[in-house]
Amino acid sequence: MSPLLALPIAFGVGLLAERMGWLRPGAAWAAALVGGLPMWAGGIPAALAVLFFVALGSLASRWNQRSQDRSGRTAFQVLANGFPAALGLALGSPAFFLAALATAAADTLATELGSRSRWAWHPLKGRVKSGTNAAISGPGTLALLGGALLFVPWAAWLEVPIAGVVLGGIAGALADTLLGLCEDRWAWWSNDLTNLLATTLGGLVGVCLPWVFAA
């Protein structure tokens, strides 16, 4: 699909997402990049994979009464979670694309569902209140695994190695938790930076793992 067609369509979908409350006002341009690049490079199946992730994250946020994303994601949150995947597909790697999306989905579900548990475990603080940054819980871990597994059908549809997508999503989401420790240490380290690095790492794992298995 021509970028002259894909980007305006994605921008229109972004405006609709703003009206539905999935995105904050002014975030449609970010949605145009995150959705338009995959539509241009991968067609309708890739665009639907992005839409699936956005819908999944929005529903999880709305289900969690304490979520900070109930009012929608900002433009920078959209880019941090989706731009590495979109860029990976634009550069010719469906494996990177899906593994990065699986990372973002796994992390989102782990955060939103895990925060409803009674308590969580922090690598440096031990037992803490659920929802504490960089902490993990049983429900959150199960949600993380489930989020990565949800991209199995997409991997099959786009003919991408399933193991790479799932394990890339799990590895990226776990890395997100560890990188979250940096947010407590340095004021300039934001959650958006954590998500950006984690999704990029998940995508790289998704690309490299099939090579390792084939060696």
Average pLDDT over residues 124-137: 85
pLDDT digits (tens, 9 = 90+) for 150-195: 999 999 999 999 999 999 999 999 999 999 999 988 999 999 999 9
CA distances from 186 to 40, 131, 136, 208 (A): 38, 19, 21, 31
Phi and psi torsions of 126, nearest 5°: 75, -140
Alpha carbons within 13 angstroms on the beta-carbon side of residue 208 total 9
Are 117 and 66 contacting, i.e. CB atoms less than 8 angstroms apart? Answer: no
With CA atoms as reference, report the closest residue to 27 among 81, 99, 78: 78
pLDDT level of residue 102 (50, 70, 90 thresholds): very high
Domain-by-domain residue ranges, the chain?
Answer: 3-214
Are 108 and 57 contacting, i.e. CB atoms less than 8 angstroms apart? Answer: yes
pLDDT level of residue 2 (50, 70, 90 thresholds): low
pLDDT digits (tens, 9 = 90+) for 32-48: 999 999 999 999 999 99
pLDDT digits (tens, 9 = 90+) for 54-86: 889 888 877 665 555 556 788 999 999 999 999
pLDDT at residue 135 is higher than 80: yes
- Residue scoring higher pLDDT (111 or 65): 111
Name, in order, each residue with C-beta under 8 angstroms of 132's C-beta and a sequence gap of 6 or more: 120, 122, 125
Average pLDDT over residues 90-118: 92
Name, in order, each residue with C-beta under 8 angstroms of 121's C-beta and a sequence gap of 6 or more: 127, 128, 135, 136, 137
Residue 3: both structure tokens together: 């970028």
Q: Is 92 left (phi over 0), alpha (psi -120 to 50) or beta?
A: left
Rounded distance between C-alpha atoms, residue 71 and residue 93, angstroms = 33
Q: In the prediction, which pLDDT does 127 show? A: 87
pLDDT level of residue 93 (50, 70, 90 thresholds): very high
With CA atoms as reference, report the closest residue to 79 among 138, 34, 133: 34
